[in-house]
């Protein structure tokens, strides 16, 4: 398919230095070798999760809420259906780490009694408790009172939440009933959900593949029909990568819109709070907006989520890759074709203004994220790994790991080593990366204004094999740079690719223009189908 662009918008790519080109060539060879080895170990394809037989499980959270408050379904029957599905799929996928099924069923009974009493009209219920009686899940780093709160960290393996995180508290007030807690990567600092407390989670489309991280268990649970919707958190792509790998929707809100209260690791600096945000994960785009309205509280006013969006008036800009970032994988052909189809639809059918662009600074996405995350008073990773009680020695842990004696995963140990030896706050390199971030943010602001969206790959390949992220460490830069900028972004599924795994893209808006991302996601779902059941 021919790709065209306006010459005034599409710039020429910069040729990387010779040393970097050599590194990238060696890295590509390593990727091919690793893929061959892993395919030999795991086989071409793993198992798929069992088919969904109960039609309740195929409903959106919004549809379930409507049917519950209009007495077409009971909250108890809905809760029983999802609990049964969780019990069915978890032995294969290993995605649920704690649950409150009995308590959730009792709360579902109370919801049904409230509706039957007629104390509140259907309209009042819709306004005051829009998700009354609907099950909700979340990841094991967001507090749910009484459930484990380990963040996949061995030192926290027995820690339980003393209260709900603010976002979960708000969802409860809206009537949702927490019922399941899902697996994460260790300390939420890796993009494969594996840890020494609960082990490794597996993709419902192919159990040989990863679910992503750190909201990986959450993404897989919803893709497999085990939960209608849930909360995730995102500091470098932890909502959007799991959404992409599992073929569902995930939205990273604009910075400082949703409270981060009730997470571990805690955000103790302004810069960390700018990067990290809680956001919705769901199978159907229709659930994104009402969830965001609830968890953003008074900030929903500045998001103007109820403003109508005319897609004909939206300007679409798209870029097919990062321009050649160091040690970043090439974008799969399936993903390139999917973006092309989406852009051709908006260009030819919607008659929107669509332009391909080339933002050269995106080549530095990884370094921008690493450098800008640093702050003078930050709590380093080696302290967080010790549960804020002293600090671990990552070199000693690495030695222990080789003999199977460490309570930490290899990926996070290496992250701690990098944290010690990477860019440090206040250095000339740090200031250069801050300047680069600010320049890129200005470019996005000038490009998008208040009526533009940027279409970009969520990740360059479909879900890798287990452990394969260890040689694809920089691929997370496609999502991470958006955290550094603080912009909103929605991961949108676009069907199944040649390898039988989900593909998709991310829709990025200017600051507080989340409604544009959500409107585009709804349209893409309508045209291209959205989530596809794993066994279909």
Do 163 and 172 form a contact (C-beta atoms < 8 A)?
Answer: no
Structural domains of the chain, count: 1
Active site residues: 139, 214, 238
- Domain harbouring 235, CATH code: 3.90.1300.10
426 φψ region: left (φ > 0), alpha (ψ -120 to 50), beta (else):
left
Question: Is residue 21, in this structure, part of any structural domain at all?
Answer: no
Question: Is residue 403, in this structure, part of any structural domain at all?
Answer: no
For the segment 313-317, the average pLDDT, to the nearest whole number, is 98
For the segment 231-244, the average pLDDT, to the nearest whole number, is 98
Residue 10 pLDDT more than 80? no
Contacts of 405 (CB under 8 A, 6+ apart): none
Q: For tokens 């969904």, what's the residue?
A: 52
Residue 489 pLDDT more than 70? yes
pLDDT tens track for 399-448: 999 999 999 999 999 999 999 999 999 999 999 999 999 999 999 999 99
Size of the chain in residues? 536
Do 319 and 356 form a contact (C-beta atoms < 8 A)?
Answer: yes
Under the banding of pLDDT at 50, 70 and 90, the label for residue 8 is very low
pLDDT value for 13: 55
Residue 11 pLDDT more than 70? no
Question: Is residue 147, in this structure, part of any structural domain at all?
Answer: yes
pLDDT value for 392: 96
Residue 6 pLDDT more than 70? no
Residue 268 pLDDT more than 80? no
Residue 193 pLDDT more than 80? yes
pLDDT value for 272: 83
Under the banding of pLDDT at 50, 70 and 90, the label for residue 340 is very high
- What is the DSSP code string of 154-223? GGGTT-B-SS--HHHHHHHHTT-EEEEEE---GGG-SSS-EETTTEE--BTTBTTB---SSSHHHHHHHH
For the segment 503-519, the average pLDDT, to the nearest whole number, is 98
* DSSP SS3 for 292: helix
Question: Is residue 116, in this structure, part of any structural domain at all?
Answer: yes
Task: Output the six-digit token pair for 282.
Answer: 């769901």
Q: For tokens 């958006």, what's the residue?
A: 482
Give long-range contacts, CB 8 A cutoff, 24+ apart: 419-425: 419/380, 419/381, 419/382, 420/380, 420/382, 420/394, 422/370, 423/367, 423/370, 423/371, 423/374, 424/374, 425/374, 425/375, 425/376, 425/378
Q: What is the dihedral of CA 147, 153, 157, 163, to 10 degrees?
A: -30
pLDDT value for 4: 39
State the average pLDDT for the chain: 95
Q: Which domain holds residue 271?
A: 59-378+425-528
Under the banding of pLDDT at 50, 70 and 90, the label for residue 12 is low
pLDDT tens track for 24-39: 899 999 999 999 999 9
Question: Is residue 195, in this structure, part of any structural domain at all?
Answer: yes
Higher pLDDT, 535 or 84: 84
Nearest CA among 12, 10, 16, 14 for reference residue 327: 16
Task: Output the six-digit token pair for 196.
Answer: 């020494």
Residue 195 pLDDT more than 90? yes
Question: Is residue 206, in this structure, part of any structural domain at all?
Answer: yes
CA separation, residue 476 to residues 50, 239, 357 (Å): 30, 12, 21
pLDDT tens track for 363-409: 999 999 999 998 888 889 999 999 999 999 999 999 999 999 999 99
For the segment 331-338, the average pLDDT, to the nearest whole number, is 98
For the segment 217-234, the average pLDDT, to the nearest whole number, is 98
Rounded to whole angstroms, the Cα distance separating 389 from 411 reads 21
Phi, psi values for residue 413, rounded to 5°: -60, -45
Q: Is the peptide bond before 265 cis (omega within 30 degrees of 0)?
A: yes
Percent of residues, the chain, with pLDDT higher than 90: 91
Contacts of 213 (CB under 8 A, 6+ apart): 184, 185, 188, 190, 191, 192, 193, 194, 238, 241, 242
* DSSP SS3 for 251: strand
Question: Is residue 399, in this structure, part of any structural domain at all?
Answer: no
Q: What is the dihedral of CA 57, 62, 66, 68, to 10 degrees?
A: 40
pLDDT value for 2: 36
pTM metric for this prediction? 0.96
Question: Is residue 183, in this structure, part of any structural domain at all?
Answer: yes
Under the banding of pLDDT at 50, 70 and 90, the label for residue 267 is confident
For the segment 184-213, the average pLDDT, to the nearest whole number, is 97
- What is the DSSP code string of 343-361? HHHHHHTS--EEEE---GG
Higher pLDDT, 272 or 450: 450
Range name among 42-46, 67-71, 412-416, 452-456 with the lowest pLDDT average: 42-46
pLDDT tens track for 104-114: 999 999 999 99
CA angle 281, 286, 287 (to 5 degrees): 40
């Amino acid at each position: 398919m021919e790709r065209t662009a306006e010459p005034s918008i599409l710039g020429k790519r910069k040729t990387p230095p010779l040393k970097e080109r050599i590194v990238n060539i060696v890295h590509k060879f390593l990727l091919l070798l690793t893929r061959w080895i892993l395919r030999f170990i795991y086989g071409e394809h793993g198992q798929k999760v069992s088919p969904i037989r109960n039609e309740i499980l195929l409903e959106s959270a919004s549809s379930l809420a409507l049917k519950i408050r209009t007495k077409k379904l009971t909250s108890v029957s809905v809760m029983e259906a999802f609990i049964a599905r969780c019990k069915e799929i978890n032995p294969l996928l290993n995605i649920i780490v704690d649950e409150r099924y009995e308590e959730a069923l009792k709360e579902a009974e109370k919801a049904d009694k409230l509706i039957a009493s007629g104390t509140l009209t259907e309209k009042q219920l819709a306004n005051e408790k829009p998700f009354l009686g609907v099950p909700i899940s979340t990841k094991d780093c967001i507090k749910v009172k009484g459930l484990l709160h380990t963040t996949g960290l061995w030192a926290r393996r027995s820690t339980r939440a003393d209260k709900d995180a603010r976002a979960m508290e708000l969802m409860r007030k809206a009537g949702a009933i927490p019922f399941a807690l899902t697996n994460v990567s260790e300390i939420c600092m890796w993009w494969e959900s594996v840890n020494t407390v609960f082990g490794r989670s597996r993709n419902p489309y192919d159990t040989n593949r990863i679910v992503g991280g750190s909201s990986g268990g959450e993404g897989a649970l919803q893709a497999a029909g085990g939960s209608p919707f849930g909360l995730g958190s995102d500091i470098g792509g932890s909502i959007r990568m799991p959404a992409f790998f599992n073929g569902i929707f995930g939205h990273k809100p604009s910075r400082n819109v949703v409270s981060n209260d009730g997470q571990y690791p805690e955000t103790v600096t302004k810069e960390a709070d700018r990067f990290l945000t809680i956001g919705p994960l769901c199978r159907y785009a229709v659930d994104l907006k009402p969830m965001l309205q609830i968890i953003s509280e008074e900030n929903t006013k500045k998001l103007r989520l109820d403003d109508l969006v005319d897609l004909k008036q939206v300007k679409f800009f798209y870029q097919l890759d990062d321009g050649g970032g160091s040690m970043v994988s090439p974008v799969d052909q399936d993903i390139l074709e999917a973006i092309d189809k989406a852009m051709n639809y908006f260009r030819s059918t919607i008659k929107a203004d669509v332009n391909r662009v080339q933002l050269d600074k995106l080549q530095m996405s990884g370094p921008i994220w690493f450098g800008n995350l640093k702050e003078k008073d930050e709590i380093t990773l080696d302290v967080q790994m010790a549960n804020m009680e002293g600090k671990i020695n990552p070199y000693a842990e690495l030695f222990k790991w080789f003999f199977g004696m460490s309570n930490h995963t290899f990926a996070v140990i290496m992250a701690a080593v990098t944290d010690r030896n990477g860019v440090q706050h206040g250095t000339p390199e740090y200031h250069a990366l801050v300047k680069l971030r600010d320049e890129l943010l200005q470019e996005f602001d000038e490009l998008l204004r208040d009526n533009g969206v940027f279409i970009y790959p969520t990740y360059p390949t479909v879900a890798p094999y287990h452990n394969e992220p260890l040689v694809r460490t920089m691929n997370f830069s496609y999502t991470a740079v958006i955290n550094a900028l603080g912009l909103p972004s929605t991961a949108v599924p676009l069907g199944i690719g040649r390898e039988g795994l989900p593909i998709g893209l991310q829709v990025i808006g200017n600051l507080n223009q989340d409604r544009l991302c959500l409107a585009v996601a709804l349209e893409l779902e309508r045209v291209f189908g959205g989530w596809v059941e794993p066994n279909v």
